Amino acid sequence: MREIDIDPYENTPRDAVVTANDYPDGQHFALHTHQRGQFAYAACGVITVFSGQGNWVVPPQRAIWVPAGVAHEMTMAGPVTMLNTYIANPVAGQLALPAHCQVFGVSPLLRQLLLQAQDIPALYDETQREGLLMRLLLHEIAAMPPLSLNAPLPNEPRLAHACRHLLAQPSLDIGIDDMSRQVGMSRRTFTRLFRQQTGISFVEWRQQACLLAAVVRLGNGEPVTRVATDLGYSSPSAFTSVFRKVLGEVPSRYFAQ
């Protein structure tokens, strides 16, 4: 694991600094940490984030919060424009930002604040317009709604191995009995331990894993019917219903935005 240096921003005496970067499809950042918390907004493209605690997917116009010191990997699906807000640890605590990775919705106001903030110099005057804009940006970040776009990983080695395999090849056709046999447990022991380790049932977790894979594929332009069929949904409309419940729009309208 390595620490990515975002100098000169790590030691800049300001509560937050915003940067903008463009990345090609497939760009991967190996396991690393930051000294500051990272609020990564996907202006376009899809970002996948993996840590020892789970897997997250960030659709276009959504963001992920990665606390300082949390080791994580990032991969870009499609060309990605990412606006990062690096937040000093004391300020992250004051804003009550979570101590774990979390995907968030992004309001129209926050989008505009991020676009404005990317042009603000690192050593902005905190008493003038630029400083007030950055302060408003931080409070707007703290007000964003969390989104259920992650699949938590269990700590138990057999369960973790099986879950990583399912994340690599997600399908609703993989049932509880399949997983319990794979890890060498009874159905009852598997279901009890899985909920204990992840906080959700295996069926809920499997649904999340499939949705994460779907977001990445749809973000790359694949048709809804093919994605829904490949992941084992009974019909494209069944998949669309799940997608709309989590992201608030049907896939075609969501990605058209």
Which pLDDT tens digit goes with each residue over 113-163? 999 999 999 899 999 999 999 999 999 999 999 998 999 999 999 999 999
Q: The domain 152-256 belongs to what CATH superfamily?
A: Homeodomain-like (1.10.10.60)
Indicate if the alpha-carbon torsion angle 105, 146, 91, 55 is positive or negative.
negative
Q: Do domains 2-147 and 152-256 have the same CATH topology?
A: no
Listed in sequence order, the DSSP H helices in 69-175 are 89-94, 108-117, 129-142, 157-168
**Low-confidence stretches of the chain (pLDDT beneath 70):** 1-8, 257
- Return the structure tokens found at 182: 């794979």
CB 207 within 8 A of CB 243: no
pLDDT at 219: 86
For domain 2-147, the CATH superfamily is Regulatory protein AraC (2.60.120.280)
Cα-atom radius of gyration of the chain, to the nearest Å?
A: 19
Domain chopping of the chain, boundaries:
2-147, 152-256
Whole-number pLDDT of residue 5: 53
CA distance 84 to 87: 9
Tokens of 95: 């804003």
pTM of the model: 0.88
Looking from the CA of 88 toward its CB, the CA atoms found within 13 Å total: 13
